[in-house]
Amino acid sequence: MAERSLRGTNLSWLSFESDEGVTFSERTITRYVCPDGHISELPFSVEAEIPSLWECRCGLDAKLVDGPEPEVKATKPQRTHWDMLLERRSIPELEELLEERLDLLRTSRGEKPRKRTA
Ligand SMILES: [Zn+2]
């Protein structure tokens, strides 16, 4: 019994130490330097995604010191609907579909469907 209450005391002491109260997450000090040489030090949770740029107190963009290169993910071009379509259909298939739709359109306008040479 005595041991249990002691452990409980210890736990509450730990939670008082942490800024966040109950859950304590490990932090890392991240350093940024702006073009004017100002250094900003910020504590980030180790689980947090650390930005490669931070706005300095002078308003300039401060760069992460010894940081990893900006993620490739960020520069990867976004997939368009067209890209996704191309993953499912080949160009000849799409041409055929387009031709079909155009024929329907022409018919609805009273035009004669064009004979395809292919
Ligand atoms: Zn600055």
Question: Domain limits of the chain?
Answer: 27-68, 78-118
Q: What share of the chain is helix, strand, coil (3-state, %, to 5)?
A: 40, 20, 45
78 in Cβ contact with 90 (< 8 Å): no
Q: What is the pLDDT of residue 69?
A: 57
Annotated ligand binding at 34? The verdict is yes
The whole-angstrom separation of Cα 98 and Cα 8 is 72
Structure tokens at 24: 């304590």
Q: What is the pTM for the complete model shown?
A: 0.38
7 in Cβ contact with 29 (< 8 Å): no
Fold of 27-68: Rubrerythrin, domain 2 (2.20.28)
Annotated ligand binding at 84? The verdict is no
Q: How far is the CA of 47 from the centre of ligand 1 (A)?
A: 27
The whole-angstrom separation of Cα 62 and Cα 55 is 6
Phi and psi angles of residue 89, each rounded to the nearest 5 degrees, phi first: -130, 150
Annotated ligand binding at 116? The verdict is no
Per-residue pLDDT reduced to its tens digit, 17-70? 555 555 667 888 899 999 999 999 999 888 888 888 999 999 999 999 876 555
CA angle (32, 34, 40) in 5-degree steps: 40
